[in-house]
Structure 1
Amino acid sequence: MVGLFALIVLFALAFLVPLIDPWDQPTRDFTAFLESPSARHWYGTSQTGADLFAQVLRGMQKSLVIGLFAAVVATGLAASVGAAAGYFGGWTDRLLMWGVDLLLVLPAFLVLALLSPSLRDRGWLLFALLLALFQWMVTGRTVRNTTRSLREREYVRAARYLGVPSYRIILRHIVPAMAPLLIADATVNLGSAIVGEAALSYVGFGIQPPETSLGTLIADGSSSFLTTPWLFLFPALTLVAIVLSATLVGDGLRDALDPQSTP
C-alpha cells in the first residue's frame, strides 16, 4: 500500500504539477545559474538557468510513459506467447520456446545500445518497444507452464468439446485465470523498463536532448557531482523512488494474490 500510494503521488507530480509550475521545462532564469536549492528553485538550477524541479518532472513524464508502455507490451507478449505455446503444444510450443531461448541468450543491453541510435529520430515509441522485447521471456515460460495445467481443467475441456475456437478459450478462460500473475508481473516490468531506459539514456543510447528523461538528467549531473551535487542527486533519488515504489507494489501483489509464495 505504501508503494502504491507513492507511485500514485509520483504520477500526479509528473503530470499535474507542470500545469501550475511557473518554471516550466523550457523557461530559463537568467539571474540564477547553478543556484543551489532554495525557496525560489526547490531543486536548484542548471548551468543554463533551467529550474531543475521542472526538468525532473519533465524527465519523470518521459520515463514513466516509456516504462508503462514497455511493461504493458512485455506482459502482453508473455501472456500471448506463453498461452499459445502451452495450449497448442507440439511444434507450436517448440517453435515459440526456441524464440524465447534465443532472446534469453542475446545480450539485451548490447543489442539495445546498437539499435537505439538508428531509431532515435523515429520517436520514443520504437525505443519502448525494444525495451519490452527483452523483458517478457521469463514470464512467458511461467505462463506456458501454467497454461499446460489449465488446459486440462474441466471447463476448458468442455469448451473445447463444444467447438469453441481456440483463441476464444485462451482469451476467455486461460488468460483470465492467470490475471494475478500478469498484473504483478506488469508492475515489476514497470520498474525494470524505467531502469533500462535510464541506463541507456545515461550512456547516450536512449532518450537524448532536446528530449529529457531521468537518465539524461543523471548523466548531465554526474560530471559535476562534487561541485553541484543537486544536479545529480534529485534525478537519481527520483529514479530510486519510482523503481522502489513499483517493486513494492509488485511484491505486495504477488504476496496477496499468491499466499503460498509468502515465507
Structure 2
Amino acid sequence: MTAPSSVPARLLRSPLALCGAVLLLFLAGSALVGPRLWPYDPVTQDPGAALLPPSADHWLGTARLGEDLLAQCLTALRKSLLIGLLVAGLSTLLATLVGLTAGYVGRGVDRSLMWGVDMLLVLPSFLVVAVLSPALRDRSWLWTVLVIALFQWMLTARVVRARAVSLRRREFVTAARFMGAPTGWILRRHLVPHLVPLLVIDCTLHVGAAILGEAGLSYFGFGIQPPDVSLGTLLAVGSGSALTYPWVFLAPVGFLVLTVTAVGLLGEALRRVLDEEDGHDGYDGQDG
C-alpha cells in the first residue's frame, strides 16, 4: 500500500500540485473572504454605473444594472465550488458503494447492479435534467446537486467494481473469508484501503466536472435559479453582451477557466504521485 506520509512530501515537490493547490487556495480564499472585504456587494444596483469597463473603482467592471462584477463573480464562485465539492463527494460515495457491492458479492447482485449502471449510462443526462427542471425550479439548489451527482458516478462504479473483483481473488481476502470474517470488516480492512488512491483522484476530478456541469445547466436555465447566483448564471446573463460589453461575459469565464484548471492540475498531480508510489511500494498482494 501507498505510504500516506510520503504522499504529501511528493506533492510538495510536484510543480503541478503546487500550481494547482496555490491557485485553488487563492480562488477559494477569495470566494470566502473577498465578498466581506470588497466595498461592493453583488446585488446592489447603480443604474448610473451600468456597464462600466474595468477601472480602479470596479476592477472587473459592472453589469447591466450597475452591479459590481467582481463581487458577483466571487459570490458565484463560492456557490460553484460548494456545488462541485458536494457533487464530487456524493458521486464518489455512490460509485464506491455500488462498485464494491457488485464486485465483491458478484453473481446476480453484480449483474443487476451493472445492468442499472449501463441503463443510466445510455440515458441522455442533459435531457433528463431538462425534463426535471420545471419541477425543481422552485426548490432548493441542493436538488441541482443531487441531480448532477446522480449522473456522474457510473463510470467510476465500473472501475471500482473491476478493482473489487481483482481484490476479491487475492489470497488475503480468501483467507479472511475462510476464517469467517464479516463482509463489512473485509471491505473496510482489505478492499477500501486499496481503493483510496483511485477514489481520491476520482473525487478531485469530479469537482471540476461538476462545476462545468452546473455551469452548463445554469447557462441554459436548468440549474441554479435566481436569486441564487453561480458562474453559470453569470455566463447566461453576460452572453448577450459578449461582443458589445465583453467584460460582462469574460469575467465569469475567467473564473470558471481558472477554477477548472486548478482542480485539473491538482488531480493530475495526485494521479502521478499515487501511481508512482504504487509502483515503488513493493506491494505483492500477499498482505492485508
State the TM bucket, normalised to the shorter chain. over 0.9
Question: How many angstroms does 1:261 deviate by?
Answer: 11
**Contact 1:7–1:242, Cα closer than 8 Å, also in 2:** yes
Indicate yes or no: 2:45 matched with 1:28: yes
Name the SS of the counterpart of 1:46 in structure 2.
coil
Q: CA deviation at 1:103?
A: 0.6
Shift of the alpha carbon at 1:259? 3.3
Shift of 1:32: 1.3
1:187 aligns with 2:204: yes
Counterpart of 1:85 (choices 98, 102, 126) is 102
Q: CA deviation at 1:112?
A: 1.3
Deviation at 1:180, TM superposition (A): 0.5
Aligned partner (choices 117, 125, 136) of residue 100 of structure 1: 117
Work out the CA distance in 2 between the residues paired with 1:204 and 1:53.
Answer: 22
Q: Name the CA distance, whole Å, in 1 between partners of 2:100 and 2:49.
A: 57
Shift of 1:260: 9.6
Instruction: Measure, in 1, the Cα distance between the counterparts of 2:31 and 2:175.
Output: 49
Supply the AA of the counterpart residue of 1:173: H
Q: Does 1:167 align with 2:187?
A: no
- Three-state SS of the structure 1 residue aligned to 2:145 is helix
Unpaired stretches in structure 2, ≥5 consecutive residues: 1-16, 280-288
TM-score after normalising by structure 2: 0.87
Which moves more between the two structures, 18-27 or 215-224? 18-27
Q: Secondary structure at the match of 2:85?
A: helix
Per the alignment, residue 204 of structure 1 pairs with 221
2:230 aligned with 1:216, yes or no? Answer: no
Structure 1: runs of 5 or more not aligned: none
Q: Of residues 237, 249, 258 in structure 1, which corresponds to 2:266? A: 249
CA distance, structure 2, for counterparts of residue 189 and residue 139 of structure 1: 10
1:51 to 68, 90, 96: 68
Q: Does 1:226 align with 2:243?
A: yes
CA positional deviation for 1:154: 3.0
Q: Deviations over 1:217-256 (max 9, x none)?
A: 0111110111111000010111011111111111111111
Match of 1:237? 254
Q: Counterpart in 2 of 1:137?
A: 154
SS at structure 1 position matched to 2:137: helix
Report the AA paired with residue 74 of structure 2. L
Q: Give the CA RMSD over aligned residues.
A: 1.7
Whole-Å Cα distance in 1 between the matches of residues 48 and 179 of structure 2? 75
3-state DSSP of counterpart to 2:162: helix
Q: Which moved more, 1:122-131 or 1:167-176?
A: 167-176
1:9 aligns with 26
Once the two structures are TM-superposed, the CA of residue 40 in structure 1 deviates from its matched residue by 0.7
One-letter amino acid of the counterpart of residue 32, structure 1: A
Q: State whether residues 141 and 225 of structure 2, in contact with CA within 8 Å, keep that contact through their aligned partners in structure 1.
A: no
Q: Give the number of the structure with larger relative contact order, counting CA–CA contacts within 8 Å between residues 6 or more apart.
A: 2
Query: Partners of 1:119 and 1:33 in 2: how far apart?
Result: 32
SS in 2 for 1:258: helix
Determine helix, strand or coil for the equivalent of 1:34: coil
Equivalent position to 1:19, from 29, 36, 59: 36
Task: Give the whole-Å Cα distance in 1 for the aligned partners of 2:40 and 2:121.
Answer: 44
Q: In the alignment, which residue of structure 2 is the partner of 1:40?
A: 57
Residue of structure 1 in register with 2:83 after alignment? 66
Contact 1:201–1:215, Cα closer than 8 Å, also in 2? yes
Secondary structure, in 3 states, of the residue corresponding to 1:8?
helix
Q: Count the aligned residue pairs.
A: 262
Inter-partner Cα distance in structure 2 for 1:189 and 1:20: 30
Please give the TM-score of this superposition, normalised by the length of structure 1.
0.95
* 3-state DSSP of counterpart to 2:199: helix
- The yes-or-no answer on 1:109 pairing with 2:126 is yes
* In 2: Cα distance, 1:123 partner to 1:97 partner: 31
